[in-house]
Amino acid sequence: MKLTIDTTDRTLTQETNDERRVLGLYTKEAFELISEQWVKIGWDLKYSYTFSWMGRPIIQLPEDMIRAQEVIYRVRPDVIIETGVAHGGSLIYYASLCKAMGKGRVIGIDIEIRPQNRAAIESHELSPLITLIEGNSISPEMVQHVHSLVGPRKTVLVLLDSNHTRQHVLAELEAYHDLVSKDSYIVATDGGMKNFSDLPRGRQEWVYDNPCNAASDFAARHSNFMIEQPARPFNESKLTENITYWPGAWLRRNE
């Protein structure tokens, strides 16, 4: 595909093997095409590695964090579970929302929590709201332990951000979906990698081996979950699609 931006004529020309389209530059369609390329280039240049939250690297696209905030404020979970800790920025982010709302706590799971990251998270002012657990997120012992920490009759939201292979994400979905409350979500993050296979940092197998496909596999097996982009509580634009690293990620429990 070839995109040509003409700021003088205010047009965007899209050329493929089959078609040539000329769009107004200031249209919804042009915005979506440009954004798709911006997301890919930004991912390859590690754009998301340039942000922190309250002192900790967050390694997330800011739009995904804002959309997550919209959901968390609406659902108001008692417990937020995240697999994949890294530097702890997203744990701190979710804990700060819990603190602001006066409700909720965060459980972070990772197969390896590096000592410097653990020390930084545990010394953070929001650490009382965070429980760190080191181990394999899909081991029976870990799954049982997390279930015991949540307890009964809790409103729970789960975000999966550890090993992003299709098989592992599907195993995490199967392991933790029963904790998710009605009208809450389990989120298979970073499915955008299916679109990044042709990038310099990409891998060809990502076309099929990605969290987005794991979410589709899971939804096909579980009729009480549906893939759904959460509704925007505020939108005065004509735009409907998210700029995201998490396409097809949000699985809402409907019963």
Domain residue extents for the chain: 2-44, 51-253
Check residue 168 and give its pLDDT: 98
Beta strands in 88-215 (DSSP E): 105-110, 130-134, 156-160, 185-188
pLDDT tens digit sequence for 192-241:
999 999 999 999 999 999 999 999 999 999 999 999 999 999 999 999 99
Considering the entire predicted model, what is its pTM? 0.97
Tokens standing for 124? 């953070």
**In a 3-state reduction of DSSP, which class is residue 75?**
helix
Kindly indicate the confidence band of residue 23, based on its pLDDT and cuts at 50, 70 and 90.
Answer: very high
Mean pLDDT of 83-96: 98
* Distance, CA of 139 to CA of 126 (rounded, Å): 28
Q: What is the per-residue pLDDT for 187?
A: 98
* Structure tokens given for 214: 């794991």
Return the pLDDT at 174. Answer: 98
Q: Do 175 and 140 form a contact (C-beta atoms < 8 A)? A: no
Average pLDDT over residues 163-190: 98
Task: Report residue 229 as tokens.
Answer: 């982009």
238 phi and psi, to 5 degrees? -90, 0
Q: What is the pLDDT of residue 48?
A: 98
Q: Does domain 51-253 have CATH number 3.40.50.150?
A: yes
Identity (one letter) of the amino acid at 4? T
The mean pLDDT value of the chain amounts to 98
By CB atoms closer than 10 A (0-12, 13-18, 19+), residue 47 is middle
Q: Tokens 């997203």 sit at which residue?
A: 90
Read off the pLDDT of each residue in 57-78 and give the average, rounded to a whole number. 98
Determine the pLDDT at residue 244.
98
Average pLDDT over residues 147-164: 96
